[in-house]
Chain A
Amino acid sequence: DAGVTQSPTHLIKTRGQQVTLRCSPISGHKSVSWYQQVLGQGPQFIFQYYEKEERGRGNFPDRFSARQFPNYSSELNVNALLLGDSALYLCASSADRGRGNIQYFGAGTRLSVL
């Protein structure tokens, strides 16, 4: 079975541009979460979506938005890119939400903002 897949694997943008990252969860998983991992740090939670609704949001500005589609895939959008948005963006899926459900991660999208 396919794991969590993310696209693209690497992206280069300039300041002020907009970017869309994509994630396909493991088949049957209804929850998708997004994390930002800055070089040398642990991942930080951005969003969680479950059954197409936002169920949690981390401490990120409104430039960050996301959505989940009927097939449970998800997109993360970042507007007005800043140099500080350069990071590895990880998507994780889980079968359910809460109760310590195991989150399975994709290989991430490396975003470089110049």
Chain B
Amino acid sequence: AQTVTQSQPEMSVQEAETVTLSCTYDTSESNYYLFWYKQPPSRQMILVIRQEAYKQQNATENRFSVNFQKAAKSFSLKISDSQLGDTAMYFCAFTLTGANNLFFGTGTRLTVIP
């Protein structure tokens, strides 16, 4: 069975500072994809970043980057230069190659403090 664990229910960060959100997952498969999604109060789930498990290079998207440790089954999200608009729930998600259903963690509520 595939599981995703986010151990930080809530976090806060000062505006312009850096914050790291943690995620671990469990699977016996070797080919899969990992995602971070952001869900602001508007409820719409927005893709932040995507990582292909067969790629060793960590994905980056502007202020967002990941630390992907395949052996440790760890996939953390780093947000640099935090902005007020980053305030949201952040979900780590996982899908197997060949499947289309995402397994989500329970989320981390991030608050950016002015």
Docked Cα-Cα span, A13 to B95, in Å, equals: 33
Binds A, one of B44-52, B60-68, B80-88: B44-52
Chain B residues with CB under 8 Å of A101's CB are: 100
Tell me if A100 and B50 are in contact (CB < 8 A): yes
Flag B93-109 by CB within 8 Å of A: 1 or 0 each. Answer: 10101111111111100
* Other-chain residue from B43, B91, B101, B104 in contact with A107 (beta carbon distance below 8 A): B43
Whether A106 is near chain B, meaning CB under 8 Å from some CB there, is yes
Chain B residues with CB under 8 Å of A99's CB are: 97-98
Chain B residues with CB under 8 Å of A110's CB are: 43
Flag B14-50 by CB within 8 Å of A: 1 or 0 each. Answer: 0000000000000000001101010000111111001
Flag A25-63 by CB within 8 Å of B: 1 or 0 each. Answer: 000000101010000111111001010000110100000
Say which size band chain A's interface belongs to: 20 to 34
Chain B residues with CB under 8 Å of A45's CB are: 101-103
Tell me if B104 and A44 are in contact (CB < 8 A): yes
Given A100-B50, A100-B52, CB of A43 within 8 Å of CB of B98? no
Chain B residues with CB under 8 Å of A108's CB are: 43-44
Docked Cα-Cα span, A106 to B87, in Å, equals: 19
Sample of 13 more A-B contacts, CB < 8 Å, known A100-B50, A106-B44? A41-B106, A42-B93, A42-B107, A43-B91, A48-B100, A50-B100, A56-B99, A56-B100, A102-B35, A105-B37, A105-B45, A107-B43, A108-B43
